[in-house]
Amino acid sequence: MSEDENRPATLHNGAVSTDYPTLQDAIMAWHRLRPEQARKASIRIIGGQLYAAADITKLLNGGTHSP
């Protein structure tokens, strides 16, 4: 992952947005979503990058996302 992994992040799942203390925590919560929810969800680092579902998968596989 990147230097962002310890920054606070928000998981957006439809009308529900949940704040997490770290990007890692938000990704773990994303894993707990049902597949149809995970495909539509996104994670935003507080004050920074937005990761769509496809980008979250890339993060998990060690890839990086370019804005």
Domain that holds residue 49: 3-60
Model pLDDT, residue 23: 94
Report whether pLDDT(59) > 80: no
Selection from 3, 67, 8 nearest residue 43 by Cα: 8
Assigned domain for 65 exists: no
Model pLDDT, residue 51: 94
Where do we find the tokens 């799942």?
13
Assigned domain for 9 exists: yes
Report whether pLDDT(65) > 80: no
Selection from 12, 61, 56, 3 nearest residue 37 by Cα: 12
Render pLDDT for 2-51 as a digit per residue (tens, 0 to 9): 678 889 999 999 999 999 999 999 999 999 999 999 999 999 999 999 99
Q: What is the pTM of this model?
A: 0.83
Report whether pLDDT(67) > 90: no
Assigned domain for 36 exists: yes
E strand map for the chain: 9-13, 16-20, 42-45, 50-52
Selection from 7, 16, 1 nearest residue 60 by Cα: 1
